[in-house]
Chains A and B, each alone.
Chain A
């Protein structure tokens, strides 16, 4: 893993091991996530890519049996150290989940919730600006501006997922983690999300887990291939897909297994 990202490092993991009880889910993974890049994690089901993604904003803390070893830093600061406030970490490292999961509240409330609990908008007018900006960035504003008080759950699946992305953006994160954000969506909605990822690139460091190798090739600048809990190969996306160094990577991307 001598490869270093082209852009400055935002997050880095060194020798990370994750255990679920006795079972080791992640084995000695070291990786750097660039500030202005989209990083894709690919690999067969159960290879640990989602688990690893969830260690990056400590969502694994909610699983009682999960244990993380090694060091993960955000801007050089260890996120598992006692000095790191988990709540603040999750505001800085936002997350979008596999299944769109808007709150069963209005569209406006879905976006406004994060900024409100973090005190990011003082007045109603400020909040209106935050909501509009976030929805614009999520590419949803034109579709929902006239029905902000409708329930977020009444939107279509693709719109819900963009609402979730808008919700993550609203708290001004530095990193956005996306856990297979398109797996529950149809091709058109998927294309819109991918377009959105292109637009968000550079504003936020983005890490995306995906099953879809074409998607990884389309949206990411760097790709990491996981297999059985280990990081097999990590490098520039175009090289991984055209000229993989590892046999396992080659077998996977050519569809021989997975």
Chain B
């Protein structure tokens, strides 16, 4: 069975059982690998979906609040106020001093029973009455029905998460058609507080915005310039090796250490204001910068050398080569690294606890030096609250954080696609 031209080798029998088995094994291997890959993707997608569903289902009710239709007979109430003043600019202050809480409470007792009739209203129900009066001073002359926020336990019971006693009251109120649900815009415009029906995320959101702005303004230019200098200008020697190793290590340092550093340097040595977005931003910038440097260096390294040659060849100076050619081509990669670093900074809690951003702050910060808190810290604080009403607020705050993160990523992807050059 030997061939004339190759006497010492028998021709390969591609149809023998051994060969068939080998082929079958190869196909099985391919299939197995594809199934495993598909399984891995499905598993991670499943986890993501579970996270999203549980957050959305738990958090969406935080954007809705229960209101109670409270009938108030203004002419017969002990409210001492001149209707004329309501038309003037002093209306707000006049009403604040007009004993509205007592009026509201009395109206509630009259409508829903002297025993605990006022307990079903939120402590700040009178604010809704005040707003209604400012809007329509004519109410003072007649009996009116004003929708005011319900107390936290009533709110929860209306969402079927409260106690049995509260559920009973809710059932009664429903019978009287005194309940209403409304979108809780206050959650997006108010700040932290003690009453879960009244708290909002705006203070933390603004704090996060300010902190991220400080972080970006510091870490992006410093990181990009360092990356370019190290890649394009710095000589290769022991010092640059040392710097490279240090930067890589810095990117891996646990974030709490940066918090301690911020506490020791920014607060104790430099006497910067405690709990401020400025200090938070500085601390997070320290953390984000190494990530940007590493991503930036890789992006700069990936620009083909022929482009540098081409630019040098027509007489561009090294700075022109960098800013006209290398940087634009490296920008997509740099932006990817920046967004990874910023996303990490946005979700960071530990270092900010160290510099005092966990304080209870009931008003949104006016600037970077005002006391502030940030979204993840707010979530952490609310998750720690005893009051049951904060559970849905925590989930709702997580939703806001996720939306913020998605928006940030969206902007980065848009910018990356805009800068991307194909060749």
Contacts and interface: CB of A to CB of B under 8 A. Distances in A.
Interface of A: 57, 59, 62, 64, 87-91, 94-97, 99, 101-104, 113-114, 117-118, 151, 153, 164, 167-168, 170-171
Given A59-B309, A97-B306, A90 B423 contact: no
Nearest to B421: A104
Nearest to B320: A117
A103 B316 CA distance: 13
Q: Is the interface of B mostly helix, strand, loop or mixed?
A: helix
B254 to A, nearest CB: 37
A229 B392 CA distance: 78
Given A87-B315, A101-B310, A113-B314, 8 more contacts: A64-B236, A89-B315, A90-B313, A94-B314, A113-B311, A117-B316, A118-B315, A171-B315
A94 B312 CA distance: 9
A167 B315 CA distance: 11
B174 interface: no
A179 to B, nearest CB: 10
Nearest to A167: B314
A257 B91 CA distance: 102
Interface in B313-358: 313-317, 320, 324-325, 329
A87 B313 contact: no
B306 A99 contact: yes
A97 B313 contact: yes
21 contacts: A59-B312, A88-B315, A89-B315, A90-B312, A90-B315, A91-B315, A95-B309, A97-B309, A97-B310, A99-B306, A101-B304, A101-B309, A103-B311, A104-B329, A104-B422, A113-B311, A113-B314, A113-B316, A114-B316, A164-B310, A168-B314
Interface residue tally of chain B, by bracket? 20 to 34
A183 to B, nearest CB: 14
B421 to A, nearest CB: 4
Contacts of B310: 97, 101-103, 164, 167
B145 interface: no
Nearest to A102: B310
B60 interface: no
Contacts of B308: 62
A64 B234 CA distance: 10
Contacts of A95: 309, 313
A49 to B, nearest CB: 17
B307 interface: yes
Contacts of A113: 311, 314, 316, 324
A224 B304 CA distance: 31
Given A151-B423, A153-B423, A103 B307 contact: yes
A117 B310 CA distance: 14
Interface centre among A95, A118, A167 (most CB of B within 10 A): A95
A91 B317 CA distance: 10
A90 B421 CA distance: 27
B235 interface: yes
Contacts of A151: 422-423
A118 B316 CA distance: 8
A91 B314 contact: yes
Given A101-B307, A103-B307, A104-B329, A62 B312 contact: yes
Contacts of B307: 101, 103-104
A199 to B, nearest CB: 20
Contacts of A97: 306, 309-310, 313
Contacts of B311: 103, 113
Interface centre among A88, A90, A97 (most CB of B within 10 A): A90
B309 A171 contact: no
B422 A117 contact: no
B235 to A, nearest CB: 6
Contact of B235 (A64, A91, A94, A167): A64
Contacts of B235: 64
B423 A87 contact: no
